[in-house]
Structure 1
Amino acid sequence: MNNLFDFLKKNKSDGLLIKIIELIAYLFIVHLGYWIAFKLEFFSVFGYDERNINAYSEIWPYITLFSAMVLLFNNTFKMIRKNLVEIIATMTIVVLMINIGTLSIAFFSREFALPRSLILQAVVIHFFLFITVKVIFIKFLRKYRGTKNIVVIGPIEDKENTMIKILSSNSDMDRVKFYIDPNLIEYERFIEKADKIFISDMVDNKIKDDIISTSIILNKSLYIVPKTFEIAIYKSEIVQFSDIPAFKVENLQLSVEKKIIKRAFDIVFSSLALLILSPVILITSFSILAFDGMPIFYTQERATINNKKFNIIKFRSMIKDAEKATGAIWASHDDNRITPIGKILRRFWLDEIPQLFNVLKGDMSLVGPRPERPFFIEEFNKNIPSFEYRLTVKAGVTGLAQILGKYSTTPEYKIKYDLMYIRNVSIYYDILIIVETIKKIIIGTLQRGENKEDEYEAIKEQKGIIETKNENFIEYNYFYEK
C-alpha cells in the first residue's frame, strides 16, 4: 500500500488509474452479488432452479455493460467530498438501477428465468458491498491526497461571501490558510506557501494574469472563478483566420432541433410524473384544505423565455396574503410566514409539483433557470447586465443553480450556473440534473434561494476556525471540527 502511495505521489496522476480499478471492483461486486444470491437459492423455500444459472450465463455481458453505464451516469467516481448520507443515497440509486436493468435485460432477451426473490437478495447484497467499497476507496483517496492549503485571492469587501462558498463546500481535506487582497499586499510570498490558489472573479484581469503566471511557474493548482464572458467561450470551437486562432462564440439561443427535442421530453416526462404523483397531489391538496383552508394553490407572476410573463402554480405553503404588508421579498431561512403544513411541503419540495402543469402548458421546462419575478429581474439588471441572458431559454422547475447552490447563492453566481447550463443543454444533461434533484430532495440537501443570516460565523464555529486579521491580509487557523 505504501509503495502505491509513493508511486502516485512521485508521478503526476489524474486519477484515471484509480477510477478504472474502482470500476472493475464495482463490476466484480455486481456479479458477486448475483452469485451469492444464487447460492442462497439453495436454502429458499421455493427451491433451486437450474434455469436461473443458464439464463444468467446468457446475459451477464449485457449486465456488465449496463452496470458500467449506470456507474458512470451517476458520477460514482466523483464522490471524494461527499458525506456518508450522500454516498448511501447515490449507491441506493445505483443498486436499484442496476437490478431493474438486470430484470429488463432478462425479460427482453427472452431469458426470463431470474426470480424476483433472487433480485431482492441481490439488491441487499449489492447495497452493503457497494457502500463498503466506496467508503474504502474514499478513505484511500483522502489519505493519498492529504490536506491541502488554500490561499484565497480577492477583494477584501467580498471576503465573507467568497469564504462562505469555499468553507461550506470543502471537507477537512482542504484548509484555507490566507485571504489576501492583491491590491493591498504583495501576493507572491503567499502563493509560495499554498498548494492551491483560489482566484475570485472580482480580481482585476491584469492582476489575475500575473497571479496565474506566478502560480503556474510555482507549480500550484489553480481554481479560477470565471467572469460571465469566460463562461460564454466555454467549450467554444477554435477556428483560424489565416494563422490567427479564435474562439467561435455562438449566441445563447437554442437551435430549432434542440427546442423540439427538449419540448418533447418535457411533455412526456411531466405527463408521466403527474400520473405517478397524482396520489401525492390529492393528499397534499386535502392536507392544505384541512389544516389551512382555501386557497390550495398559489399563483404568482414570473418571467420566462424572452421575458414573457406567466403565472407560476404552486401548492400554497405560506399564510394568506403573505406579502400584503412587506411587498415583494425573498423568503428567509426561518420565515414566520410559512404555515406548519407548508414547512413539510417545502422540506420535500412538494409545493413545486404543480409546476408540472406549467411545463405541460409550455410556460416552463423541466430543467432551466428558475423563473424570477419581474420586480427582481428589473432590480438585478441594474447591477448585473448579464442577468437577462438567463431569459434566452425557458424557465425550469429545477436547474444547475438549484442542485449546486446554497442558501447564500447570490444572483451573480446564479447567472454563472445558468449560463453553464445553457451552454451545455441536452436531454442527457437534463436527466442528470433531474436525478440529482430527486436525490438531494430525498436526503434533504437541495437548497432553496433563501437568505440565511450569520452563515459565515456559523461555518467558522462548526469548523473550529479562528480568523486573525492582520494589517493587509487575513489568516485562518483550525482547532477542531464538530
Structure 2
Amino acid sequence: MNNKKFVLSMIMKFVIVILEIGFFAMVVFQYYGPKLFSKMDSVGYSVTLILYTIVYIALSNLFYAFKIMDFSVAETILSQFLAFGIADLLLYGEFCMIRHNYVNIIPGLLTVACQLLAAICWALISKRMTMLFSRPEKTLIITGAVLTDEFLQKLEKLKYIFNVEQIIPYSELGKDWKKKLDPFEAVIFYETEMENRSELLWYCMQDRKSLYLTPQLDEITMQGFGARHLIDTPLMKYEYRSERFWYNLVKRAADIVVSLLALIIMSPILLITALAIKIEDRGPVFFRQKRCTKNGKVFEILKFRSMIVDAEKGGKSIPCRSGDPRITRVGRIIRKIRVDEFPQIINVLKGDMSLVGPRPERIEHVEEYTREIPEFVYRLRVKGGLTGYAQIYGKYNTSPYDKLRLDLQYIEKQSLLLDFKLLLLTVKIMFVPESTEGFTEEKSAAVSENSKRAEEIEEE
C-alpha cells in the first residue's frame, strides 16, 4: 500500500471540504442567517451548517468528488460542482420554506461561483501535487486467459496508478510463486479461476499488496446470498432480490410518479428537440425499435431520431461507430447530452421499462450474446431500465461480457437506496463524453459479421 499517496489524498480532501463549507458558511452568516434566525439563535446556524456538511460530504462520496487520482481534472471538477451545487440548492429550498417566501438567490449564486473557482484551483493543484509526490505501484498481472490488447489499453490510461512490469500466465507461476510475487506492490488477477488464485490471494493480503481481480460470473452471483444463522454451521441462502413483492411495488410506484414529473418538467426540452428534428430533414421525430425486457417480453423502445431516415436498411443491426456519418447535426447534439433517450420516459410510464435496470437489448443481440455467453439471459430476470450499472460504470462500446458482469452486480444487490444512488450518478454521466463512445469501425464490423454468420447458420 502507498501510505504517502493515502496521506496526501486525505490532506487534499480536508482542504476542499474546508473551502466549500467555508464559502457556504460565509453567505449564511453574512446574508441568509440574519434574515432567517435571530442573533441569539445559534442553534439555527449550527443545524444549517451541520446539515450542509452531511449533504455535501455524502454527495461528494457518491460522485467520487475526492478521488483526484482516479479521474481526470475535468471530471473531478464536475463531481465537486454537482456535490456542492445540489447541497446549495437543497439548503436554499430550506431557507425559502423557513421564510415562507422566496429568498434572494443572487448571494447564493455568487457563493456557487466562488465554490466552483475553489474546486477548479483545488483540482488542478491536487492533481499536480499527487503526480509529483506519489508514484504508480509496481504491478504484476496474473492471467488465467489470453490477455487482450483492449484490457492493456485500459490500464495504459491508468499508468499513474499501475506500472505494469510483468505479465505471467497462472500456469507458469511454478512452485516458487511467492518469490515472483514479492517484488510487486499490486497484483491484478485477470480471468483466473477462483480455486487457482485462492492461495495467492491470501498471501497477497498478508503482505498488504493492492489486489484487483476480474470476477467470474458465479462470484458476482454470490453477492445475492445472505447469512442464515439457523445452526452453528454457517449457512448462506440465495435471496432472489429481483422477486421481492414490496420492493417491486414501491419501485413501480416510484417509476410512475418520477416519469410523470419528468415529462411535465422536461416538456419544453422535448418539444424543442422534436421541432429541431422535424425541421432538419422533415423525417419522423421518433425512432422505434424492438427490445427485450423482463422474461424476454418484447416491446418498442422510443428514442428521438438522431440518425438519417433508414439508417439501418432492412432492419439490419449496424452498430454506431465513432464519427458515424449517419448521425444528423441535431443527432450529434442530442446524443452528446443524452436527450435522444428522454422519450423512454414514456416507456417507463407504460410499464415496459423501469427507471433503473439493465438496458434492454435488441432481440437479435440477445440471441447472439446468449449463444456466446449462455448466462446473458440472466439479465432478463429484471425489467429493463432507463439507466443502470453498465451505463454508469461502462461505456457504449463496453463488451457484452463486461456489461453482463456489471448488470449482474446490480441484480444481486438491488435496493431502493441503490436505485436512488444510480439515478443521481446518471446526472453526472450525462456530462461525461467518454461514456457515450461509439464502437470503433473494427468492433462495429466484428459485431455485424457475427450477426451475419449467425443468420447464415440458422438458414442452413
Same fold (TM over 0.5): yes
**384-393 or 98-107, which deviates more:** 98-107
Contact 1:303–1:310, Cα closer than 8 Å, also in 2: yes
SS at match of 2:171: coil
Partner of 1:417: 406
Residues 66-108 of structure 1, C-alpha deviation per residue, up to 9 Å, x if partnerless? 3322321342334431211112211222222222222222233
Partner of 2:296: 307
- Distance 1:31-1:351 versus aligned 2 partners, 3 A rule: same
1:198 to 150, 163, 188: 188
Are 2:48 and 1:62 equivalent residues in the alignment?
yes
Are 2:160 and 1:176 equivalent residues in the alignment?
no
Going by fraction, where is helix more abundant, 1 or 2?
2
Are 2:137 and 1:151 equivalent residues in the alignment?
no
Per-residue deviation at 1:26?
1.9
SS at match of 1:129: helix
Contact 2:33–2:45, Cα closer than 8 Å, also in 1: no
In the TM superposition, what are the counterparts of 1:332-411 in structure 2 within 5 Å?
332-411=321-400
**Distance in 1 (alpha carbons) for counterparts of 2:149 and 2:224:** 31
Contact 2:25–2:49, Cα closer than 8 Å, also in 1: no
Residues 374-405 of structure 1, C-alpha deviation per residue, up to 9 Å, x if partnerless? 11111111221211111111101111111211
Contact 2:137–2:162, Cα closer than 8 Å, also in 1: yes
In the TM superposition, what are the counterparts of 1:11-410 in structure 2 within 5 Å?
22=13, 26=17, 29-35=20-26, 51=35, 54=38, 57=42, 58-75=44-61, 76-110=65-99, 115-133=104-122, 145-155=134-144, 157-168=146-157, 170-184=158-172, 186=174, 188-201=178-191, 203-234=192-223, 236-240=225-229, 242-324=231-313, 327-410=316-399
- Distance 1:318-1:121 versus aligned 2 partners, 3 A rule: closer
**Distance in 2 (alpha carbons) for counterparts of 1:124 and 1:95:** 11
Letter paired with 1:62: T
Letter paired with 1:26: V
**236-245 or 307-316, which deviates more:** 236-245
Contact 2:227–2:237, Cα closer than 8 Å, also in 1: yes
Q: What count of residue pairs does the alignment treat as equivalent? A: 436
Residues 403-440 of structure 1, C-alpha deviation per residue, up to 9 Å, x if partnerless? 21135421111111111112222333223222222222
Per-residue deviation at 1:363?
0.3
**245-254 or 92-101, which deviates more:** 245-254
Cα RMSD of the aligned pairs, angstroms, is 3.3
SS at match of 2:435: coil
**Distance in 1 (alpha carbons) for counterparts of 2:22 and 2:395:** 39
Letter paired with 1:180: I
Contact 2:59–2:83, Cα closer than 8 Å, also in 1: no
SS at match of 2:313: coil
Residues 343-400 of structure 1, C-alpha deviation per residue, up to 9 Å, x if partnerless? 2221121211110100000000111101001111111112212111111111011111
**Distance in 1 (alpha carbons) for counterparts of 2:349 and 2:139:** 47
Contact 1:33–1:125, Cα closer than 8 Å, also in 2: no
- Distance 1:141-1:114 versus aligned 2 partners, 3 A rule: farther
SS at match of 1:446: helix
- Distance 1:320-1:134 versus aligned 2 partners, 3 A rule: closer
**Distance in 2 (alpha carbons) for counterparts of 1:99 and 1:262:** 28
Contact 2:289–2:300, Cα closer than 8 Å, also in 1: yes
Residues 332-353 of structure 1, C-alpha deviation per residue, up to 9 Å, x if partnerless? 2232322232222211212111
Contact 1:437–1:446, Cα closer than 8 Å, also in 2: no
1:452 to 437, 440, 457: 440
- Distance 1:375-1:113 versus aligned 2 partners, 3 A rule: closer
**Distance in 1 (alpha carbons) for counterparts of 2:413 and 2:68:** 22
- Long gaps (5+) in structure 2: 444-460
- Long gaps (5+) in structure 1: 42-47, 456-482
**Distance in 2 (alpha carbons) for counterparts of 1:276 and 1:126:** 27
Alignment identity in percent?
29
**Distance in 1 (alpha carbons) for counterparts of 2:243 and 2:125:** 43
Give the alignment's TM-score, normalised by structure 1: 0.80
